[in-house]
Chain A
Amino acid sequence: MLRLAAAVLTALGLALGQQTVITFYYPVGVAGPLARFIEGYVRDFERQNPGIRVNTVFGGNYEENQAKVVAAIKAGNPPDTAILLSQQLYTLLSLDAIEPFDPYLAKDPELKRAVQDFFPAFMMNSTLDGKVYSLPFQRSTPILYYNKEAFREAGLDPERPPTTWDELVEYAKRLTKRDAQGRVVRYGVAIPTEDRSTWLLEGLVIQAGGLLYDPAGRGCKVLVDTEPVRKAMQFKADLARKHGVSPEGVIAWGTTPGDFAAGKVAMIYHSTGSLGFIRNNARFPFGTAFQPKLVRYGVPTGGANFYLFKGSDPGKREATLRFIKFMTSPELQARWSIDSGYVAARRSSWNLPLMREYVRQWPQALTAREQLAYAKAELPVYNLQQVKDIIAEAEQAVVLGRKEVREATREAQRRVDEALRPFCR
């Protein structure tokens, strides 16, 4: 009894006196028990830093987590750090909620080294006017997953995935399997039309030789009414409506990895962050590959970064930076990559024995890293979610055959420009 009382008192003392408590919001954007991994890393950090307690808040998916963080900011109680989409930079700046890392980079060589060690592609969404506003944590690119068993069954070489859009269609036709009544039992390919996102569309646009925004546009110039965007939307629509190799209608993002793992779709476009889930659930050999090209390879980077929030006192800021350095260290990034499938964002992670062994066993993990050489920044724009919704709705209308592609992109361009006007005078 006395011992218990003493323990309680010590804990209280620690909580009141010696411990710095920092608040950390994080999302989970793909299938699998990722929240458990993150909580585990946080506990490891606390063991190594007994003076710091991290108050973790699991915020749901990316959008929900963003909503919770903004609500906390509006309520005058901002977190010390949070993992938010790297492309939220402009929205967070317009809320006047974040601070750059630069003052600490000058003082802290370890942090400086980290910034130089991240893959440059993953820093593209982090920097503006020479300042670093966020550090990569759960970063990804979309890749092509394919079922090698289905390839063999269809007489295709399982070591030779499709490399062009035409090949993708041709393979998908051979991979689509019907039963005696003509019902599809396995589709050739599924490219989700994410409910509220433009990520996969962006990849197709890059592959068609374009880009969804003007890189010099400072978050204000989105390019929807262009030929590459029209080609990308039409390609998606044709997969089901013209070629019959994909489920008709809008394909859900969330259930697609499960459908692939269950053998119901032979090829899917999805985040490399789903690699962990697919590895654990697919009962057939599968491969990963670059997304096929029309005129060039290319995908947007994706995923989320650590931000620093205004209103954190110096003691907490120091603890926060220590926490961020831990979470973005080469060792932890390697562990996180192995646990989840996200790309270890530090180049030096890939030289660690742990990572070498993993890659030897699962060479599928290399695809996303190598694809980084062809990656572009993900749509960086003010008023992000509304802009995404407008473009996604246009894309859905084309995929559903409700609008002719030229009309859809023209209308979306007008609406996007309107949505950006209040932010971009």
Chain B
Amino acid sequence: MAWHRPLPFLLPTLVFLLAFTYLPFLIAAWQGVPALGSLAQRENANALRVTLLYTLLTVPLSVALGLLAALAVEGTSRLRLLVRTLVFHPVILPTVAFAAVFLYLLNPLGPLQGVLRLLGLQNPLGDPLGAFLAVVLIGVLKDAGLYMLYYLAGLQALPKELLEAARVDGAGRVATFLRVTLPLLSPTTFFVAIMATLGALRNVDHIFVLTKGGPVGATDHLLYRVYVLGFEYFHFPQAGALTLVLLTALTTLALLAMPRLEKGVHYDG
């Protein structure tokens, strides 16, 4: 097929993407170029640190939780269906609503008061570490259900012969999981890990609801900072500059990570 054949079919989408996503983005980034020098501020450095920590924590945790949940609820018994629904439920809730529930739960005099006190967190959202952990927790719980679905699909597609062969060879459950299931699931893991990383860098709705970047900047995610710079301080050039930096970092990360990660991935057929 000639390379230009699909173009007419892509055109409608392309027009809208250009008009409402790419073009405004390029304009904003362009306006940001002169402000690049002004980014060396303590607040931005802090936001970078917060974002890295947030990503490093939420990605492995939500992927692991998704996998564990999938293994736990594989099958069709009633109880498993119930658990599956529970884990999946946060996915279909709007993040803002989900976060608002936690605003109530994590209130210093709220229903979890006793549990929180045991953890030494009397007022989690009013404490830098507590607020950061709360934001991580919600990020993980919100998306783990979706990853569970991917893993469930992945598990169902596993070739049964290999699992049987492993059993015949006398491999235990743990060995089967580590040596057979997990490597066979690697395409799913690869995909889910990328989704989770993008999610950690893009989804900040719960920060708006729960912490507004505080206290003392403990949850000041880069993307939230872009919003604050642009739409609360109205320093549009700086917001554009920070967007540009964020994009460059992401692209570099993707280019570096893709080939390395893919090496370890098993693709069937």
Question: A-side interface residues toward B, CB under 8 Å?
Answer: 63, 66-67, 70-71, 74, 91, 95, 183-184, 187, 193, 195-196, 247-252, 254-255, 259, 262, 264-265, 383, 385-386, 389, 392-393, 396-397, 400, 402
Contact = CB atoms under 8 A, between A and B. Distances in A.
Given A247-B122, A247-B123, A385-B232, A397 B216 contact: yes
B254 to A, nearest CB: 30
A264 B126 contact: no
Interface in B108-138: 108-109, 113-114, 117, 122-123, 125-128, 130
B232 A249 contact: no
A195 B233 contact: no
Nearest to A392: B214
Nearest to B233: A386
Contacts of A250: 123, 125-127, 214-215
B234 A251 contact: no
A63 B109 contact: no
Interface string B71-105: 00000000000000000000000000000000110
B221 to A, nearest CB: 15
A191 to B, nearest CB: 12
B188 interface: no
B62 interface: no
A255 B209 CA distance: 12
Chain B contact residues: helix, strand, loop or mixed: loop
Given A195-B211, A252-B126, 10 more contacts: A67-B231, A67-B232, A193-B126, A247-B108, A247-B109, A248-B126, A250-B215, A386-B232, A393-B214, A396-B215
B190 to A, nearest CB: 38
Contacts of A196: 212, 214, 232
Contacts of B176: none
Contacts of A248: 108, 122-123, 126-127
Given A70-B234, A259-B107, A385-B232, A247 B126 contact: yes
Contacts of B128: 400, 402
19 contacts: A66-B232, A67-B232, A70-B231, A91-B234, A193-B126, A195-B214, A247-B123, A248-B108, A249-B108, A250-B126, A250-B127, A251-B108, A251-B126, A252-B107, A255-B104, A264-B109, A386-B233, A400-B128, A400-B216
A187 B109 contact: yes
Interface in B213-243: 214-217, 228, 231-236
A66 B123 CA distance: 30
Nearest to B227: A67
Contacts of A392: 214
B172 to A, nearest CB: 46
Given A95-B234, A187-B109, A396 B216 contact: yes
Nearest to B209: A254
Contacts of A193: 126, 215
Contacts of A74: 236
By size class, the interface of chain B is: 20 to 34
A397 B128 CA distance: 10
A214 B234 CA distance: 24
A74 B27 CA distance: 13
A286 B198 CA distance: 50
Contacts of B127: 248-250, 400
B251 to A, nearest CB: 27
Contacts of B114: 183
Nearest to B109: A264
B117 to A, nearest CB: 7
Contacts of A255: 103-104, 107
Interface in B39-53: none
Contacts of B215: 193, 195, 249-250, 396, 400
A383 B126 contact: no
Contacts of B211: 195
Contacts of B123: 247-251
B117 A183 contact: yes
Contacts of A249: 108, 122-123, 125-127, 130, 215
Interface string B159-186: 0000000000000000000000000000
A360 to B, nearest CB: 34
B231 A259 contact: no
Contacts of A71: 231
B124 to A, nearest CB: 8
B210 to A, nearest CB: 9
Contacts of A91: 234
Q: Which has the most chain A C-beta neighbours within 10 Å: B109, B128, B211, B233? A: B109
A140 B95 CA distance: 32
Q: Which has the most chain B C-beta neighbours within 10 Å: A95, A392, A396? A: A396
Q: Which has the most chain B C-beta neighbours within 10 Å: A195, A262, A265? A: A195
Given A255-B103, A396-B214, A63 B122 contact: no
Contacts of B107: 252, 255, 259
Nearest to A94: B234
Given A249-B126, A259-B107, A393 B117 contact: no
A195 to B, nearest CB: 4
Q: Which has the most chain A C-beta neighbours within 10 Å: B114, B215, B231? A: B215
A70 B232 CA distance: 9
Contacts of A70: 231, 234
A66 to B, nearest CB: 8
A262 B123 CA distance: 17
Contacts of B104: 255
Given A183-B117, A250-B126, A396-B216, A385 B109 contact: no
Nearest to B229: A386
Nearest to B208: A64
A119 to B, nearest CB: 29
Contacts of A63: 232
A392 B126 CA distance: 13
Nearest to A187: B109
A330 B231 CA distance: 35
Q: Which has the most chain A C-beta neighbours within 10 Å: B117, B231, B234? A: B234
Nearest to B121: A249
B97 to A, nearest CB: 15
